[in-house]
Structure 1
Amino acid sequence: MRIGILGGTFDPIHLGHINPALDVKQQLNLDQIWLMPNHISPLKNTTVVSSHHRLEMVKLICQQYPEFELCDIEINRNTPSYSATTLSLLRQQHPKDEFFFIMGMDSFIQLPLWYQWQSLFTLCHIALCQRPGWAMDTQSEMTKQLLLRQAAASYLDSPSHATHGKIFCINSQLVDISSTEIRQRLAENIDISAVLLQTTTDYIRQHKLYR
């Protein structure tokens, strides 16, 4: 199978996560998208709500969208969620599957700060979704990687294509909002129905989160 992986704190999960993931699945003709909430993010100090609540909100999304599956490999780990470690383990567990790691341009630019970041290109492809307002330094390491590794979706039609190491740029109608802004609006009781699914909003209200 061809599997897209979208990781994150999902604090909370919103359309800025969901819509690009659906675009990746459609444009690269993937079989599934795995939503992978993490327990301890190496690049974020903390989350606002517990791993339990973040996991439950992701489960609700997976129930609503048949395209999505929950991947709980990171949220059940009591050590920092290094993507290289996770993908290495997933490749061992699913040797016949092809993985596409989904990330936004903001994360892609910061990739050299990630643990063993270069090993990602030996473990998976990258599906790159550009977020509004982000541009790349033409002299940066990641610009060089993009020029070296960029491929069109048609590349995957070749029976002999590599199962890792390529970067696919995704055309996506991205929602220009962050989880931080959503939490602020929730705390101020501002309507956020344009960016949160009703099931997520109901869960947040039921459990009195982000107040």
Structure 2
Amino acid sequence: MKIGIMGGTFDPIHTGHLLAAETVREALGLDEVWFMPAHVPPHKAEAGFSGEERLRMVELAIGSQSAFRTLDIELRRGGVSYTVDTMSELTGKYPDARFHFIIGTDMVNYLPRWNRIGELASLTRFAAVGRGGYELHAEDLAPEVKNKIDYCDMPQLEISSTDIRRRLREGRTIRYLVPDKVHDYLQRSGTHAAYARTTD
């Protein structure tokens, strides 16, 4: 099977995440895309929502797409969520799968800084989803990394979790920025207050 891995904090998951996953699924002919909320990503502060809440929002967001599923191994492992550790675990557990780790094109320039990037590139390919406004320097990447990147064009959506958190703190609507079921979850649970603790 060809499996896409969509990692991230998902704080909260939004429409852009879903579009990126679907774009890569179609472009690369993936059988499934697994959404994997991080416990604590190396490059970000701790999330506003708990891991359990973020996992629940992901489950609600992807429920209508049968090719999408959730994966909680980084939440269960705890600590800082290094991608190389996760992919090592996944390739050991699913030796017949071919993995494609989904990133934004804005992250391509930062791949040399990722923990044990050479080892990571031996475990997975990277699917870089097109995002505007970034100058790529793929020529600066080591060949063993550069040759493992597939580029996928994607319609541009100016949506970010940072902006969604800001809107929540300001009491503004986030309808249509997040899937309807995520919006309803936030309304029902009264968890807007979690975003008063800024994670920017």
Q: Same fold (TM over 0.5)?
A: yes
What residue number does 1:48 align with?
A: 48
Deviates more, 1:1-10 or 1:39-48: 39-48
Alignment identity in percent? 36
Whole-Å separation in 2 of the counterparts to 1:171 and 1:71: 25
Q: What CA RMSD, in Å, does the superposition of the two structures yield over aligned residues?
A: 1.8
Superposition deviation, residue 146 in structure 1: 9.5
- 3-state DSSP of counterpart to 2:75: coil
What residue number does 2:184 align with?
A: 202
Kindly indicate whether the alpha-carbon contact (under 8 Å) linking 1:131 and 1:176 is maintained by their aligned counterparts in 2.
no
Whole-Å separation in 1 of the counterparts to 2:35 and 2:8: 8
Letter in structure 2 aligned against 1:182: I
Kindly indicate whether the alpha-carbon contact (under 8 Å) linking 2:118 and 2:145 is maintained by their aligned counterparts in 1.
no
Kindly indicate whether the alpha-carbon contact (under 8 Å) linking 2:9 and 2:41 is maintained by their aligned counterparts in 1.
yes
Pick closer, same or farther for the CA change 1:110–1:73 going to 2, 3 Å.
Answer: same
What residue number does 1:141 align with?
A: 140
Superposition deviation, residue 167 in structure 1: 1.3
With normalisation by structure 2, the TM-score equals: 0.90
- 3-state DSSP of counterpart to 1:175: coil
What residue number does 2:59 align with?
A: 59
Whole-Å separation in 2 of the counterparts to 1:147 and 1:124: 10
Whole-Å separation in 2 of the counterparts to 1:66 and 1:146: 33
Pick closer, same or farther for the CA change 1:146–1:105 going to 2, 3 Å.
Answer: farther
Which of 163, 167, 180 pairs up with 1:185?
Answer: 167
Q: Does 1:84 align with 2:66?
A: no
What residue number does 2:102 align with?
A: 102
Letter in structure 2 aligned against 1:48: G
What residue number does 2:156 align with?
A: 174
Whole-Å separation in 2 of the counterparts to 1:168 and 1:13: 23
Pick closer, same or farther for the CA change 1:95–1:196 going to 2, 3 Å.
Answer: same
What residue number does 1:158 align with?
A: none
- Structure 2's unaligned 5+ residue stretches are 194-200
Deviations 1:85-128 (A, max 9, x none): 11011000000000000000222221222110122210011100
What residue number does 1:38 align with?
A: 38
Superposition deviation, residue 141 in structure 1: 2.2
Deviations 1:146-205 (A, max 9, x none): 9951xxxxxxxxxxxxxxxx2110011132221011111122222222321110001111
What residue number does 1:111 align with?
A: 111
Kindly indicate whether the alpha-carbon contact (under 8 Å) linking 2:101 and 2:125 is maintained by their aligned counterparts in 1.
yes
Whole-Å separation in 2 of the counterparts to 1:182 and 1:132: 19
Kindly indicate whether the alpha-carbon contact (under 8 Å) linking 1:10 and 1:54 is maintained by their aligned counterparts in 2.
yes
- Structure 1's unaligned 5+ residue stretches are 150-165
Kindly indicate whether the alpha-carbon contact (under 8 Å) linking 1:146 and 1:167 is maintained by their aligned counterparts in 2.
no
- Count the aligned residue pairs: 193
Whole-Å separation in 2 of the counterparts to 1:47 and 1:104: 20
